[in-house]
Amino acid sequence: MHLKTRGLILKEQNIGERDKLVTVLTEARGTLRAFVHGAKSVKSKKAAATSKFCYAELTLAKTKDSYIIDEARPIEMFFKLRDSLDRLALAEYLLELGFAFSPEEENAKENLRIILNSLYFLCNDTYPPKQLKSVTELRLLSLSGYAPNLVACDRCGCFESTTMYFDMEHGLLYCDNCAPASAPFALPLGLVSAMRHIIFSEIKSLYNFKLDSALLDELSYITETYLLRKAERRFKTLEFYNSVQALG
Binding region for Zn ion (CB under 5 A) = 153, 155-156, 158, 175, 178
Choose between 48 and 156: whose C-beta lies nearer to Zn ion: 156
Choose between 75 and 156: whose C-beta lies nearer to Zn ion: 156
Q: Which long-range contacts (CB under 8 A, 24 or more apart) does 118-126 make?
A: 118/94, 119/53, 119/78, 119/81, 119/91, 119/94, 120/76, 120/78, 121/207, 122/81, 122/87, 122/90, 122/91, 122/94, 123/78, 123/79, 123/80, 123/81, 123/87, 124/80, 126/207
Minimum CB–partner distance for residue 159 and Zn ion (Å): 10
Choose between 123 and 158: whose C-beta lies nearer to Zn ion: 158
Minimum CB–partner distance for residue 150 and Zn ion (Å): 13
DSSP state of 204: G
Minimum CB–partner distance for residue 163 and Zn ion (Å): 12
Minimum CB–partner distance for residue 168 and Zn ion (Å): 18
Choose between 154 and 218: whose C-beta lies nearer to Zn ion: 154
Minimum CB–partner distance for residue 142 and Zn ion (Å): 23
Choose between 79 and 159: whose C-beta lies nearer to Zn ion: 159
Contacts of 151 (CB under 8 A, 6+ apart): 159, 173, 196
